[in-house]
């Protein structure tokens, strides 16, 4: 963004007296101060002039972080052909989730509105890839993405249309991919730090619709967040409950054991039923079952399908039943293995209580003490595996996500290169995504105080809020013009409040909008003196124009 001055007297929407209150929610402030606007389409926003500048700065910060580390920036289109997305099976997968927005041209061509860019990035690289000498390739882009959210909510936090800054890497080996994953995590960290997001931490995560492999979320603790994670109250180890190693929480007074049935799909395509015995107050993590069994996919058997597969009604399955079905894998969660006494289904509507693995003679083959595995989702009260601490559930905002993709996309898309030995090989991919639109609102929410918004240097709608007192006086207009010329020439962007209003109202607006510095031009001060108020410290300094750029510099 070039260094320019915007004037409050000519802003759109107009800066009205009293618009916005310090007690407004962050989202209401973004609306009432004219940064963003609703559009009538659910989960879709317009970026107004002040908000667009925040968005552009955050997008540019992300781009610089990736380019400085060697990535090349390109731009993939919104419209992407169905044929491209069918190569990886994701047309159907996203459709099944109901997350894909699709269009059909009048000539009958089907396209989707890009929710992410794995396919087009792989196609862009695949078309020109020949030899290991062409690798690694690291591409960055920051474009609009689309997701058919059933209930878009939280303003910019989860929309149908949003900006994602994503990056895709292609390597000649697993080792190369791991280096690229480190590059992606490093660049995401630099980008988020540059955006002024403090307290970002990384956590193991579930790859979801993007990746079957390991992934890392970058999160910020926030009650406005839509991610629930577990955090150890002692060592601080944090992560998605579905993948974070944990010991079970202490058992309830009268523990009940449930047996939950799944279908595993193994890498060779074989499918196999599996049953997991778990305490009824806990939930099986399919990601942990996959990790424990080596299965590619783990899918719950629906109640109506259970009788056909295991011969039992839902809720009546016991380890005895499974033990009699030799093809079915029987697994015990550690929450069950350590129980002294428990109840379990009596095969009908009731429970048999008072059982123990040791005491019940009919279960010697099923004795599980010491053999339980960590198959449950970590929850509030789970115990840390790294220290004697206890997990607490906290809410967080996912601001970035880094995925190991392996050959999950490059293989079905038939990407190939000639390796050092002259053989055909498939490149290893990884990717990352930073939610630019979400970061805008998260930064605003994280930093606001009881006076209003507060932007870190380099991230707000402008660098300096110039408040001109007695803006109706010709002499003050001249001083304003000189200051604007001087500061923009020194690379600062300005918001000049030249409205004919009282000082109090104008200073209130400056605090509410929260640019990192306000410069107050007053007729009561000599020409070469200017009052600079730091929005973060609240401190006022009397200084000269030439000192302002150093004061307003980011970092």
List interacting residues with a copy of itself (CB under 8 A). 2, 4, 6, 10-14, 34, 37, 39-42, 44-49, 52, 55, 64, 67, 70, 72-81, 83-84, 98, 101-103, 105-107, 109, 111, 113, 120, 123-125, 127-128, 130, 134, 137, 139, 144, 146, 148, 150, 160-161
Instruction: State the virtual CA torsion across 24, 27, 31, 37 in degrees, nearest 10.
Output: -160
**The token pair that represents 501 in the structure block:** 């209003």
**The token pair that represents 208 in the structure block:** 């979801």
Q: Which does 386 bind (CB under 5 to 8 A by kind): Zn ion, a copy of itself, none?
A: Zn ion
d(CA 396, CA 129): 39
Give the contacts of 365 (CB within 8 A, at least 6 positions apart): 323
Least distance to a copy of itself from the beta carbon of 49, Å? 4
Least distance to a copy of itself from the beta carbon of 286, Å? 24
Beta carbon nearer to Zn ion, 103 or 387: 387
Beta carbon nearer to a copy of itself, 145 or 465: 145
Beta carbon nearer to a copy of itself, 109 or 346: 109
Least distance to a copy of itself from the beta carbon of 68, Å? 9
Least distance to a copy of itself from the beta carbon of 31, Å? 11
Positions 17 through 46 that interact with Zn ion (CB under 5 A): none
Q: Which does 519 bind (CB under 5 to 8 A by kind): Zn ion, a copy of itself, none?
A: none
235 binds Zn ion (CB under 5 A): yes
Least distance to Zn ion from the beta carbon of 383, Å? 8
Q: Which does 232 bind (CB under 5 to 8 A by kind): a copy of itself, Zn ion, none?
A: Zn ion
Q: From residue 362 to residue 391, what is the string marking binding to Zn ion with x (rule CB under 5 A)?
A: ----------------------x-xx-x--
**114 with 76: CB under 8 angstroms?**
yes
Beta carbon nearer to a copy of itself, 49 or 554: 49
Nearest residue to 373 (alpha-carbon basis) of 274, 472, 447? 274
Displacement of CA 493 from its chain's centroid (Å)? 30
**CA angle, corner 362, sides to 358 and 364, nearest 5?**
50
Number of residues that bind Zn ion (CB under 5 A): 8
Positions 388 through 417 that interact with Zn ion (CB under 5 A): 389
Q: Is the peptide bond before 136 cis (omega within 30 degrees of 0)?
A: yes
Q: Which does 389 bind (CB under 5 to 8 A by kind): a copy of itself, Zn ion, none?
A: Zn ion
Positions 214 through 233 that interact with Zn ion (CB under 5 A): 232
489 binds Zn ion (CB under 5 A): no
Least distance to a copy of itself from the beta carbon of 93, Å? 15
- Extended strands (E) in 250-328: 256-265, 271-279, 297-300
- Extended strands (E) in 187-245: 201-205, 215-221, 227-232, 238-240
CB atoms within 10 A of CB 278: 25
**The token pair that represents 83 in the structure block:** 């044929």
Handedness of CA 418, 421, 424, 428 (dihedral sign): negative
Least distance to a copy of itself from the beta carbon of 20, Å? 13
Beta carbon nearer to a copy of itself, 51 or 319: 51
Beta carbon nearer to a copy of itself, 66 or 357: 66
d(CA 225, CA 197): 14
Least distance to Zn ion from the beta carbon of 291, Å? 20
Name the maximum alpha-carbon separation found in the chain: 99
Beta carbon nearer to Zn ion, 8 or 246: 246
Length of the chain: 555
347 binds Zn ion (CB under 5 A): no
133 DSSP 8-state letter: G
Nearest residue to 100 (alpha-carbon basis) of 154, 431, 89? 89
Least distance to Zn ion from the beta carbon of 236, Å? 7
CB atoms within 10 A of CB 462: 26
Beta carbon nearer to a copy of itself, 160 or 470: 160
Which one of 32, 158, 234, 297 is in contact with Zn ion (CB under 5 A)?
234
Least distance to a copy of itself from the beta carbon of 25, Å? 20
Beta carbon nearer to a copy of itself, 77 or 89: 77
Burial 427-452 (b: 16+ CB within 10 A, else e): bbbbbbbbbbbbbbbbbbbbbbeeeb
Least distance to a copy of itself from the beta carbon of 18, Å? 14
338 DSSP 8-state letter: T
Instruction: Report helix, strand or coil for 121.
Output: helix
Where along the sequence are the contacts to Zn ion (CB under 5 A)? 232, 234-235, 237, 384, 386-387, 389
């Amino acid at each position: 963004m070039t260094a320019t001055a915007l004037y409050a007297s000519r802003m759109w929407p107009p800066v009205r007296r009293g618009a916005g209150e310090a007690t407004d929610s962050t989202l209401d402030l973004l609306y009432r101060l004219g940064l963003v606007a609703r559009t009538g389409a659910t989960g879709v926003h317009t970026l107004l002039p002040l908000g667009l500048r925040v968005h552009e700065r955050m997008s540019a910060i992300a781009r610089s972080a990736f380019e400085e580390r060697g990535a090349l920036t390109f731009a993939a289109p919104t419209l992407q052909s169905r044929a491209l997305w069918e190569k990886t099976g994701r047309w159907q997968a996203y459709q099944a989730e109901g997350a894909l927005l699709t269009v059909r041209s009048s000539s009958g061509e089907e396209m989707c509105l890009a929710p992410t860019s794995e396919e087009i990035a792989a196609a862009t690289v695949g078309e020109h890839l020949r030899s290991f000498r062409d690798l690694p390739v690291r591409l960055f882009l920051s474009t609009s993405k689309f997701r058919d959210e059933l209930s878009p909510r939280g303003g910019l936090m989860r929309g149908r249309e949003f900006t994602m800054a994503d990056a895709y890497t292609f390597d000649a080996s697993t080792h190369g991919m791991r280096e690229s994953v480190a590059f992606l995590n490093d660049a995401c960290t630099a980008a988020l730090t540059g955006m002024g997001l403090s307290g970002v931490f990384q956590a193991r995560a579930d790859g979801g619709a993007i990746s079957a492999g390991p992934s890392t979320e970058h999160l910020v603790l926030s009650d406005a967040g839509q991610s629930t994670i577990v955090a150890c109250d002692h060592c601080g180890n944090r992560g998605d409950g579905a993948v974070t190693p944990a010991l079970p929480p202490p058992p309830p007074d009268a523990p009940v054991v449930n047996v939950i049935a799944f279908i595993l799909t193994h890498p060779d395509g074989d499918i196999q039923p599996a049953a997991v015995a778990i305490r009824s107050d806990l939930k099986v993590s399919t990601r942990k079952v996959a990790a424990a069994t080596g299965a590619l996919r783990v899918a719950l058997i629906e109640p109506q399908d259970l009788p056909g597969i295991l011969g039992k009604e839902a809720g009546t399955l016991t380890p005895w039943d499974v033990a009699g079905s030799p093809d079915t894998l029987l697994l015990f969660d550690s929450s069950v293995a350590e129980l002294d006494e428990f109840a379990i289904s009596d095969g009908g509507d009731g429970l048999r209580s008072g059982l123990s693995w040791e005491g019940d003679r009919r279960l010697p083959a099923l004795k599980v003490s010491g053999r339980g595995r960590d198959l449950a989702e970590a929850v509030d009260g789970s115990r840390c595996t790294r220290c004697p601490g206890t997990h607490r559930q906290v809410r967080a905002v996912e601001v970035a996500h880094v995925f190991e993709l392996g050959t999950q996309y490059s293989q079905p898309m038939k990407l190939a290169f000639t390796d050092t030995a002259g053989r055909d090989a498939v490149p290893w991919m990884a990717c990352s995504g930073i939610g630019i639109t979400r970061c805008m609102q998260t930064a605003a929410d994280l930093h606001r105080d009881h006076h209003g918004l507060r932007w870190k240097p380099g991230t707000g709608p402008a660098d300096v809020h110039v408040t001109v007192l007695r803006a109706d006086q010709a002499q003050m207009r001249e001083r304003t013009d000189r200051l604007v010329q001087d500061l923009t020439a020194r690379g600062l962007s300005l918001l000049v409040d030249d409205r004919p209003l009282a000082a109090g109202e104008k200073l209130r607006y400056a605090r509410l909008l929260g640019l990192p510095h306000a410069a107050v031009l007053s007729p009561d001060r000599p020409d070469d003196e200017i009052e600079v108020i730091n929005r973060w410290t609240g401190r006022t300094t009397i200084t000269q124009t030439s000192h302002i750029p150093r004061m307003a510099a980011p970092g």
